[in-house]
A and B are shown apart, each in its own frame.
Chain A
């Protein structure tokens, strides 16, 4: 079945550090890939999506490139800020049934 694996449970960085959160997926078809961000006390918010191989999604300085060959959609940001501290979810959209499958999430902590 469809699934998403996020390698890091927690990432701790200092401001202006480079961020990478790894995401790999498993799907039988050709899924859409998403990143969501969740701040304390709120529901997850859509960050961006990509729906075909080599497509880059981006928003708020975050970006990820759909790689069908390595089944990956890693999140990157060149210079993180304290306000980026949140939980980040990689997700896979199955177009056949309106479902989205979420990874376990990665807690990002950015120290000033």
Chain B
């Protein structure tokens, strides 16, 4: 088995601040994902990475940057936090090379912007 760790668990920021969220996985999976979860809106893909140093934009990439420094880690940066923004950011990974592979999720980082 393996685990996905997300840090921090809770993140409070100020309007306009640049904020970084981190994700680590020990599954040895090639593909990693960042999703944003808003209440009642499901999961929306921000960025994903098929392998180390690869980045692919999702449906919600504007306002975010991502970095895949090594196979086991994937970071997400909110470039300018929006006032009153509240959301949960979920990191996931999937088994390499399988078309119908399920994704494994971390517990999430809960963001609040004051």
Question: Which A residues form the contact surface with B (CB < 8 A)?
Answer: 9, 32, 34, 41-46, 49, 51, 89, 93, 95, 97-100, 102-105
Q: Name which residue of chain A comes closest to B56, CB basis.
A: A97
Residues of B near A95 (CB, < 8 A) are 99-100
| 29 A-B residue pairings within 8 Å (CB atoms) | A9-B40, A42-B105, A42-B107, A43-B90, A43-B92, A43-B105, A43-B106, A43-B107, A44-B90, A44-B105, A45-B105, A46-B102, A46-B103, A46-B104, A51-B100, A89-B42, A89-B43, A95-B100, A98-B31, A98-B50, A99-B45, A99-B48, A99-B58, A100-B103, A102-B42, A103-B42, A104-B41, A104-B42, A105-B40
Q: Which residues of the partner chain A approach B58 to less than 8 Å between Cβ atoms? A: 99
Chain B residues near A104 (CB-CB < 8 A): 40-42
Output the residue of A44, A93, A105 with the most chain B CB within 10 A: A44
